[in-house]
A and B are shown apart, each in its own frame.
Chain A
């Protein structure tokens, strides 16, 4: 990703975020039953969507790596996974803070929460696994298989609130839950800057992955001399 594109993404994201924060805090009224804490949804849900998108993109890139054996797909997979993991952490932590007020507890072993935690742990394991394997092609192959395996948990997290009885609120997208259109607009409008930020972070991480490969090539050259 070019430097100018990265700067453009971050600038648009910053402007949108500033506007969204203004709407969230000063324009939208408090939700009737939950009060101000409801506003956490504007970061909690878009962060989850961004994380899932990253994990699914990693799975597609991993399949492409196994088919084509091109290390660029492996680099893309690790970049989007790492960014996805950061957004998944935002989802988990903001959810816990919301739960502390609404449920009176930080955590419960509910299917949605548990499957999300498992998802986070799986992808953290993916990154740790990559550190454990030295040889680049072997690392890429093992990581690709692991990423495809881990991606099975993404639909489980998404559909857990439909498949099992859970304490988590019902889905507001294609589900039993509903939300005022003004909240909806802000929710979607806040997803755009988070997506742009995620794309910029993944672009930087991808560039670093390329540099890392250059570095490994230089190291081999230095040893050969």
Chain B
């Protein structure tokens, strides 16, 4: 079968489109398919999460969400899609809505019912919280080009670290 577009090369991609309830079939060669933005090869996931999880991630991540960044580790949904791993604990709050849906699909539930936990109330814990806040302030300071404030924040972070 020849490509519907160039009519030169063999069609290797068979695309079924549904537009306004009308079904059309398009047979394309690899080059024409690529020109139309149709992916002809699917990269294997780099991590043994399985195709299932990769598919779920792709469905779950609308392009608009990609713009969001975790305020602590700077990770984006794109990073998650690439690695299958979250960047830090705060990602769970940053991407909470997508997270809930993802967890439901993976585990059949998004609510932990196992053992509860109270972190130790210690200087270490308070320092960890403060560090997170300072890092966030530093990020904002850099973004808004307040370099003096940024330098000050960086020094305070170094002391705490």
Chain B binds chain A: no
